[in-house]
Amino acid sequence: MKYILFLIVFLTTIISTFGQQKNIEKQIDSLISIKNAKPFNGIILISQKGKIKYLKLDGYSDIDKEKVLKLNDQFVIGSISKQFTAVLVLGEFDKGNIDLFKPIHKYLPELTQSWTDTVTVHHLLTHMHGISQLDKPTAFKVGSQYSYSQIGYDLLAKIVERTSGKSFAELSEGLFKECGMENTFHPDDKNYKDLVKGYTENENGKIELETETFQNYVAAGSFISTVSDLNKWNSLFYNGKLLKKKTMKLLKTKQKGAIRNHPIFGVTEYGYGITVDTKENIVQYGQTGFAPGFVSMNFYFPRTKTTVVVLENIAYDTDDLKKTFYYHTEILKIVRNGVKNYN
C-alpha cells in the first residue's frame, strides 16, 4: 500500500512538472513570436540540473548577410563577466595569496593615491570603494555606500595578475579550460571564431552595426561566451566545484551595504560578482550584462537547479534599459513563476 501511495505521488509530481515545463515553453514561444517592430534576435537556453529543457535560436548573427544564428555563436556578455573575475580573485584567496580585507596598496604599491591605504579587495568586489578615476579622490568615504563600478573590477584583474604572476588573459584561459568552456574567451585571446556582430538601434529607430563593443574593462564586462558554455559554468559554479565551500558561501551572501537601485529591477542586493535575490521566498543568483550591441542575462535558481540564459545581439532603446532588456525580463518572470509553482 505504501508503495502504491509513493508511486501515485511520484507520478503526480512528474506529470505536474512536465505540465509546468510545457507551459513555460509555450509562454516563451508566444512572447518571441509576437509580431513586433523590435523582434527578438538572439538565443535562449533554459536547463534543469544542467540538462537543456528549452532552446530557442531566433534571428541573425549577421543581419546584412542574413546569416542565421547557430548554437555555438559567441556573444559579448557584459557584466556577467564579473563572476568570472570574482572566481579568479577568490581562487587566489583560497590559495592564501589574497586577503580580502587588507588595503590594496599591499598588492598594487605603484598606486600612490591615499585611498589605496583604505580600499580593500572586499570593497572592490562589492562596489563600495568610491573610485571613479585612478588619479582622483574617492567619491565618498570608502565602505560607506554602493556605486556600481567598472574600474573596481579592472583593479581586481591587476591584483590577481600580481599575486599569480600570470596575465589576466592567461588566468581566464585556465579557468575556462578547467570548466570545459571551449567557446569562452578573453577578447585578447584571438582564437574565437564565431563572434556574432552586435547592433544598436539609433535615435531614428535604425539598426546599425556597433563599432564600440569592447569599450568596457574586460574583467567587468567584455568576456565572450555562448549559451552552452554559460550553462556549463552555472552547473560547476553554483554547485561548489570551483571554490572552497566557505568561500562559495561568502560569494553568495548578501554583503552589508551592497545594495543598488538597479535601473531594471529596482532595489537589488549583491554578493561577490553576482546579485542575490530572495524575494517571494525564491533564491535567485546571477547577473544581467550590457555591452554596446549586446544584451545578456544569466540567472540560476538553486532550489530547482534551473539556469536561464538569454543572449541578444541587438540593443534596442538604449536610453531606457527597461525597454532594452524587455525580452530578458519577461523571460525571467516566466521562469521565476515556474520555479515558484514547482512541486
Contact 323, 330 (CB under 8 A): no
Is the pLDDT at 74 greater than 60? The verdict is yes
* Within a domain: 21: no
CA distance 61 to 74: 9
- Flag whether 130 is in a domain: yes
Name the helix (H) or strand (E) containing 126: none
Alpha-carbon span 30 to 52, nearest angstrom: 19
Which of 180, 176, 191, 123 lies closest to 151 in space, CA to CA? 123
Please name the amino acid found at residue 282.
I
Average pLDDT on 303-314 reads: 98
How many C-alpha atoms does 219 have within 13 Å on its Cβ side?
25
d(CA 74, CA 227): 8
Assigned domain for 183 exists: yes
Strand partners, 296: 289, 311
Structural domain includes residue 136: yes
Q: Specify the pLDDT at position 36.
A: 74
Domains: count for the chain: 1
- For the question of whether the overall pTM of this predicted structure is more than 0.85, the answer is yes
Domain with residue 252: its CATH number is 3.40.710.10
Stated length of the chain: 343
Among residues 62, 82, 76, 74, the alpha carbon closest in space to that of 214 is found at: 76
Task: Please indicate, yes or no, if residue 19 is contained in any of the structural domains.
Answer: no
The model's pLDDT over 193-247, given as tens digits with 9 standing for 90+, comes to: 999 999 999 999 999 999 999 989 999 999 999 999 999 999 999 999 999 999 9
Q: Which domain holds residue 115?
A: 41-340
Is 147 within the bounds of a domain?
Answer: yes
Average pLDDT, rounded, for the chain: 94
Choose among 258, 295, 304: nearest CA to 147: 258
Is the pLDDT at 343 greater than 60? The verdict is no
Which pLDDT value is given to residue 1? 53
Q: Sorting pLDDT into bands at 50, 70 and 90, what band is 4?
A: low
The closest alpha carbon to 90, from 271, 278, 232, 260, belongs to 271
245: Cβ contacts below 8 Å, ≥ 6 apart: none
**Residue 14 within a domain:** no
- Is residue 138 scored above 70 in pLDDT? yes
Burial class (CB in 10 A: 0-12, 13-18, 19+), 180: exposed
Q: Is the per-residue pLDDT at 282 higher than 80?
A: yes
